[in-house]
Structures are given as C-alpha cells and as structure tokens.
Structure 1
Amino acid sequence: MAALLSAGLLLLLLPAAFAAEYGEANITPQTTMGEIRSNPSIAGSGLWTYAKEQKLQGAENLLNGQTLEKYVGSWVAQDCADGLNLLIENYNAGVQITYKIYSEQEIAEDSSRNDAEIYYYPASTPNAKYALILSGNVVTRTAEVKECVSTAYQLHQMGYAAFVMRYRIYPDNDQNAPLDDIAQAVQYITDHAQQFGVQAEDYAVIGHSAGGQLTGLFGSDALGYKNYGLLKPGALILAYPIVQYAEVTPAYRLGVDGLSCGKFYYEYSVADVITEDYPPVYFWYGKNDTTLMMLCWNLQEPALAKALQANQVPHKQVVYNDAPHGIGLGRGTDAEGWLNDAVAFWEAQTT
C-alpha cells in the first residue's frame, strides 16, 4: 500500500515539475525585463535579452525593473510583447529557438564566435521565404529585442520565416567579424533550409541603423555575398541605415583594429560599393533623424540614393517627416506600416 501511495504521489507531482520547465505566454508592454528574463521559456530558448547591457559588468542586474515598453520604446512595445509570446509558444511546442552558427571547433579557435547566433521564428506554412534581421548597435549596445523581435513577429504574421541575428560587436568586431557572422548565418540557413522549412533563394536581409550599413555591405561584390560564395539576396531592406561613419571612422579604427593592415567594414561607404548587379534595395528614413544628420548628412541617404540611381539598381526610397532614429516598426509615427511596404517591394523583385 505504501508503495502504491508513493507511486500515486509521484504521478501527482510530475505535472507540476514538468510545467515548471515552461513559462506562460503572458508578456505585455508593462511586464518588467526582470520578469521576462525569469520566464522559464525565455531563459530556456536562449534568446539574448541583454541588449542595452551587453558586455557590461553586472549586466544581469541592470535595468531589470524597467517595463518592456520603457526598455524598447512605445514604437515597438506591443509587437515586441507579441513576438516574445510567440517565441514562448514555439519553445513550449518543442521548437528549437537558438542556433549557434559556428561549429565547436571554430568557436574553440576564436571564442568570440560563440556570441554569433540566430533565433528562429518558423513560418506557419512550409517552404516559405525567410528574412534575416539585424539590429543596430552603438559600441557595446545592440537592439535585438527592440528592432528584431518585433519585426520577426510581423513577418510571421505575413507568412514568412524570420531569423533574428546576433552578430559580434565591440570589442569583438575586428577583422570584419560582423560581416563574417552574417555570411555564416546565411550559409547555415542555406545548409539547413529543409530543416527550417524555408526557401534558400530570394531571401531578404533587413538591417536597422548600423545593421543597415552591414546589410548594405553584404550586398556588395567587394565585401558581401559573392565574396563568401553565397546566393544573392532577393532584397536588402534598410531602416534608417547608416551609410558610412564619416568623421568618426579614424577613432573607430583606432579602437577596434589599431595598426592592423587592411581596410575594414566600418571604413566603407555603402554608396561606394554599389554596382550594376547589386541586389534590389528598399530604404527609408525620417527628416527628423538627428543621428544621421550628425554623421555628415550628404554622405548618408543622399549618397546612397545617388549611387543606386547611377547603377540602375531597382530600389525604393521612402522619406518620412516624423520618423526619429531607432524607432523600429515606428508605431505612432509617419513610418508606421513601412514593413508592409518593404515586403511588397521584396515580393515584387522575387516573383
């Protein structure tokens, strides 16, 4: 009898123990970052949520009391919450979220490669097109949660697969490491296209801010997909892209690569590497984007538009009156809805 009681008690306890491994998809814009990071499914998924604190000592203790809306901004808060809930639902259903894009041997050769990974948002139907999404970065800060998770959610709603990209940043961004990471991600997705249920061809790369500069360079002959032996992107989608770093380049060079020989990604202008066979480009920005204004305006979006026109590259440029830098989906601004327009452009180039 005692054995039967023990077995029964064990059976009663099993569901609770099992359930403790999973979190609820109940995140809202008012959920704190500490609560989000404590969600067992977020933690188990491997999603990097320390965007603002990346590479800083004691990162796990910073900003945990902020709400998601405060952390990412009202422009993306609801979409970001929806994207995190979708990730939780996928994880709870047995979907692997995080994929290291370098092999164990490659990581052993260079430990910084361990930071390079992708987070998978599967499409609801097989053989879907996919987009690789890059956030912006400011030295040690990135915006995967802010700019990428929200975008991934909206792409999922439109029927696409999405991969949020975490690439190497300072101080591990020397020797063109971020471009290597992007190329490695595309190669990894291509090699596992059947597993991910995606088409290897006609993919889009979406880059925000500094991620837009990397995306633009990835489309070039000199530094991009051809250099890595990869398929040509179906479209490059650039949200308020930095085209070149202009007057800050010398300081950046000194801090990242010092006296190393060669020319590295942050020393290039996207406008200078565009050729006639460059991938189709959709890009947008706001007239009140003070970040771009501070980086020598004439060398930014005007130079990009001029180069695309001169080389007759299919492109669409959209300029908004009210669209500050770093707003992601831009809810509540003139830019709201830009992703739908960008996806329509992507489809027009690949069908």
Structure 2
Amino acid sequence: MIVIPGGAFNRQWGFIEGQAIASRLNNMGYTAFVLYYRVKQEPVLPLAILDMVNAIKDIEMNHKSYNIIPGEYMIGGFSAGATLAGEIGCENFGYKVNGIPKPQAIFLGYTAVSMKEFYGIYSSLPDGHPGRESIAAFLRRVGGPCFTEETLAPFDLPSHIGSDFPKTYIVANEDDGTVPVSNSRLMDRCLTGLNVPHITKIGTRGGHSFGLGNGLPVEGWLEEAVKFWRES
C-alpha cells in the first residue's frame, strides 16, 4: 500500500494522513509506504506526479528487499495527495504512459479532482475575498503563477479517465469546508458512467483532514477500502 498525505501542495500532513494510516495498515498485516513529494512550487505539477511514479518504480525494482509481491498494490491519498493518487489512473499522466503496473485499487480521501470546479469558485469570488486568495494559492501550485483554465485542464481528473481506471474507494464528509464534497460525488458519477467498480462513503460530519476518521460516521473506512482491494 502506498499512502500519500495531503496539504494543498504547500505542505504535507504526514502524521494524520501518512504515518497513522501506515501504522494501521501494518497492524492489518500490510507493508505500507508513505510518499512525500515536492511542494511549494508554482507549478508543482507534474513534478509531484513524477515523484509518485518514481517511488512506484523504486518499490517495484526493490520488491525483494521490501518482501512484497511486484505489481500487487493499492495506492491512495488525501486531499491534494488524493489528487496525485487519482492521476496514476489517468490517461495523460498515469500508469500506462509511465510503464508501471496498474494499481489493483485506489483510495481517494476527500479528493480534489475537479480543477474546473475550483477555477469556477475562484472566478465567482470578488477580489479581496479570503477564499479567493486561498483557492488561488492552490491553483498556482497546480497550474502555475499565471494559471488559466487551459493550464489547469491537464490536471482535471474527470476529463482524463477511461473505463480502465482502477477500481476505487472514495471517502469524504458532507461538511468539508476545504474541498467541496461535490468533488467526490463527481468522481463517483464519472466512475459509474464508465462502469468502473467503486465504493463511495460520504459521512454527515467530520470536515476535512479526518485521516482514519476515529469517532466519526466514516470510521472503519480504511478497513472497508482494504477489503474492497483484496476482493477479486
């Protein structure tokens, strides 16, 4: 299992969305890797995608040292980390163009997949609105300092996936004030339309950055995701 923390491509929530997840997976009997990738650049994509691809190649190349079965893996992430995890299944930056094994499954935690939606929200907010600058900072790290719809378009995941996208487990909360839950619902609709096996679990409360989701309605999602992965 490869776990990718989020942090808006500005930082990485390595404990809540990395080490804690890996520790739980270890307790379940799985080898887990936490991926730390490049951040704080404008743009940082596709560089961070390259970091993910290179990590997978390294793990595959050294599978004997890690005592794992090559090609047998699930990858997932949270928020911006889920943006990266989703890209591994896309047509323009994914496993096919990079010559790496297709993930057996992906998990997407409160994922940011729709750059079209983020750009739309940004464009609708007036100058000086705190939310506008917050979204702009994220979009600069995706599409560059002078981002446009065109520079963001390559990273709009729903626009670049097909029916061979890996089976996917999606988890998010209705009251997420950072990444609208509509991103997760959009991904759910896309996968449904493509007949890609998937599970979507939406909690009623818990906000953003909930990690394992202890004490929340979504608690147990990781165990469900692993079970989904291991099912044939």
Give the whole-Å Cα distance in 2 for the aligned partners of 1:140 and 1:321: 28
What's the CA shift for 1:309? 0.7
> Partner of 1:336 in structure 2?
219
CA distance in 2, matches of 1:214, 1:315: 18
- For 1:331 and 1:163, locate their aligned partners in 2 and report how far apart those are by CA, in whole Å: 21
Query: Match for residue 85 of structure 2?
Result: 215
Check conservation: 1:272, 1:307, Cα contact below 8 A.
no
Distance 2:139 2:24 in 1: 36
The alpha-carbon distance between structure 1 residues 173 and 186, as it changes in their structure 2 partners (threshold 3 A), is farther
Give the equivalent residue in structure 1 for 2:56.
186
Displacement of 1:173: 5.1
- Counterpart of 1:325 (choices 187, 205, 208) is 208
Q: Distance in 2 between matches of 1:251 and 1:231?
A: 33
Shift of 1:242: 1.2
| Alpha-carbon distance between aligned partners in 2 of 1:251 and 1:164, rounded to the nearest angstrom | 25
Q: Where does residue 146 of structure 1 map in the other structure?
A: 16
Distance 1:253 1:208 in 2: 17
2:132 is aligned to none
Equivalence for 2:160: 273
CA distance in 2 between counterparts of 1:338 and 1:217 reads 22
| CA distances 1:78-137 after superposition (whole Å, capped 9, x unpaired) | xxxxxxxxxxxxxxxxxxxxxxxxxxxxxxxxxxxxxxxxxxxxxxxxxxxxx1110001
| CA-to-aligned-CA distance 1:116-170 (integer Å, 9 cap, x gap) | xxxxxxxxxxxxxxx1110001343211122110010110111100001100011
Find the partner of 1:166 among 18, 36, 59. 36
| Structure with more relative contact order (C-alpha pairs < 8 Å, separation 6 or more) | 2
How big is each residue's C-alpha offset from its partner over 1:184-211, in whole Å with a ceiling of 9 and x where there is no partner?
0000000000010011112010111111
Residue number in structure 1 paired with 2:175: 288
- The CA distance in 2 between the partners of 1:266 and 1:243, in whole Å, is 11
For 1:282 and 1:140, locate their aligned partners in 2 and report how far apart those are by CA, in whole Å: 25
Percent identity of paired positions between Structure 1 and Structure 2: 27
Determine if contact 1:214/1:265 at 8 Å carries over to the other structure: no
State the TM-score, normalized to the length of structure 2.
Answer: 0.84
Indicate if the aligned counterparts of 2:201 and 2:218 stay in contact, CA closer than 8 A.
Answer: no
Please tell me whether the aligned partners of residues 244 and 266 of structure 1 are also in contact (alpha carbons under 8 angstroms): no
Q: Deviations over 1:27-48 (max 9, x none)?
A: xxxxxxxxxxxxxxxxxxxxxx
Structure 1 unaligned spans of 5+? 1-130
CA distance in 2, matches of 1:226, 1:265: 21
SS at match of 1:278: coil
Other structure's SS at 2:35 match: strand
Pick the aligned partner of 2:144 from 239, 257, 260. Answer: 257
| One-letter identity of the residue aligned with 1:347 | R
Tell me the amino acid that sits aligned with residue 199 of structure 2.
Answer: K
2: CA distance between counterparts of 1:304 and 1:204?
A: 18
How many corresponding residue pairs? 215
What does residue 94 of structure 2 align with? 224
1:66-145 correspondence runs (5 A): 131-145=1-15
TM score, norm. by length of structure 1: 0.57
Paired with 2:174 and 2:137, the residues of 1 have a C-alpha distance of 27
What is the identity, as a one-letter code, of the residue corresponding to 1:304?
Answer: M
Corresponding residue for residue 131 of structure 2: none
- Conserved 8 A contact 2:77-2:83: yes
Instruction: Tell me which moved more, 245-254 or 307-316.
Output: 245-254
Name the structure 1 match of 2:125. Answer: none
Secondary structure of the structure 2 residue equivalent to 1:141? coil
Query: SS at 2:114's partner residue?
Result: coil
For residues 346 and 282 of structure 1, what CA distance do their matches in structure 2 show?
A: 9
User: What is residue 177 of structure 1 aligned with on the other side?
Assistant: 47
Inter-partner Cα distance in structure 1 for 2:65 and 2:137: 43
Deviation at 1:265, TM superposition (A): 6.9
- Match in the other structure for 1:310: 193
Map Cα deviations across residues 225-247 of structure 1 (whole Å, 9 max, x no partner). 11110000000011111112422
